[in-house]
């Protein structure tokens, strides 16, 4: 069972729809190519890809764009969450991919990625990308996902224990949707890790209260690993 906090306050709990491993269907080449082009156009050339193999439900590959003068941080974008449609309300695209940004000096070597203190943002992207397919739900702006019940830190030394899905702040408006060219529109959503007290604020007071706090603290999709909680 997992938890998903919708746009308002409160928690929705979900149970997996699957009993055991379900193989990824693989991505349609046209969609994969569209995501590749979209990343290069709006964020910069891809320097490497963290591939998944023998993936459950969807293959979540993570594209890495190195820092540039215009974007002085590493940009990570998923490709594969959109292999399957999400279960969405009417009028919402059933396809999404995720992104977040890491400090320019965040190590992504093979050795670093074997250390959960360094790899947890990668695990987070994969966890959230698979969640709607595992539980028959959907991920949209201002949904939030605590890391367990009660919420636990993602890794030793990481005080973040949940995440909220947000619009990207450091990207042009046209970067927010990937057009696959065949009528498929894929929403590109940002992940912002949260402290336990910030998660609790959203549950108690709702999304608008959390937005006010994050805006006041200048929080965006660029991860600041040392960011203190904005809620006492």
Is residue 72 one of the residues assigned to a domain? yes
Is residue 73 one of the residues assigned to a domain? yes
Is residue 231 one of the residues assigned to a domain? no
**Domain that residue 55 falls in:** 2-216
Q: Is the pLDDT of residue 157 over 70?
A: yes
- Are 144 and 165 spatial neighbours (Cβ–Cβ below 8 Å)? yes
Is residue 12 one of the residues assigned to a domain? yes
Averaged pLDDT for residues 100-122: 97
- Cβ atoms within 10 Å of 86's Cβ, excluding its own: 20
The angle, 0 to 180 degrees and rounded to 10, between the axes of the packed helices 196-205 and 207-216 is 140
Distance CA 211, CA 42 (A): 25
**pLDDT tens-place string over residues 58-104:** 999 999 999 999 999 999 999 999 999 999 999 999 999 999 999 99
Is residue 226 one of the residues assigned to a domain? no
Q: Is the pLDDT of residue 10 over 60?
A: no
- Are 129 and 81 spatial neighbours (Cβ–Cβ below 8 Å)? yes
**pLDDT tens-place string over residues 21-59:** 899 999 999 999 999 999 999 999 999 999 998 899 999
**Domain count of the fold of the chain:** 1
Averaged pLDDT for residues 109-119: 96
- Cβ neighbours for 4, distance < 8 A, ≥ 6 positions apart: 11, 12, 13, 14, 131, 135, 137, 139, 143, 144, 145
Is residue 227 one of the residues assigned to a domain? no
Distance CA 22, CA 114 (A): 25
**pLDDT tens-place string over residues 169-225:** 999 999 999 999 999 999 999 999 999 999 999 999 999 999 999 999 999 999 999
At 1 the pLDDT is: 40
Is residue 221 one of the residues assigned to a domain? no
Q: Is the pLDDT of residue 4 over 80?
A: no
Distance CA 80, CA 62 (A): 9
Is residue 228 one of the residues assigned to a domain? no
On whether the pTM is more than 0.85, the answer is yes
């Amino acid at each position: 069972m997992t938890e998903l906090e919708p746009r308002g306050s409160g928690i929705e709990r979900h149970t997996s729809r699957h009993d055991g491993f379900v193989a990824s269907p693989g991505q349609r080449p046209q969609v994969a190519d569209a995501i590749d082009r979209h990343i290069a156009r709006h964020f910069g050339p891809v320097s490497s890809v963290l591939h998944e193999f023998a993936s459950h439900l969807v293959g979540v590959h993570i594209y890495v764009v190195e820092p540039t003068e215009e974007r002085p941080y590493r940009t990570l974008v998923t490709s594969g969450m959109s292999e399957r449609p999400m279960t969405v309300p009417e009028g919402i695209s059933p396809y999404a991919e995720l992104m977040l940004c890491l400090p320019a000096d965040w190590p992504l070597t093979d050795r670093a990625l074997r250390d959960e203190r360094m790899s947890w943002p990668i695990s987070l992207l994969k966890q959230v990308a698979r969640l709607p397919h595992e539980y028959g739900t959907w991920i949209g702006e201002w949904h939030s996902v605590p890391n367990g019940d009660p919420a636990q830190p993602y890794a030793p030394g990481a005080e973040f224990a949940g995440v909220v899905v947000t619009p990207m702040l450091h990207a042009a408006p046209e970067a927010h949707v990937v057009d696959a060219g065949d009528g498929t529109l894929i929403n590109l959503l940002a992940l912002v890790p949260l402290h336990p007290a910030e998660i609790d604020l959203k549950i108690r007071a709702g999304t608008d209260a959390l937005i006010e706090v994050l805006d006041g603290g200048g929080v965006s999709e660029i991860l600041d690993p040392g960011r203190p909680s904005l809620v006492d």
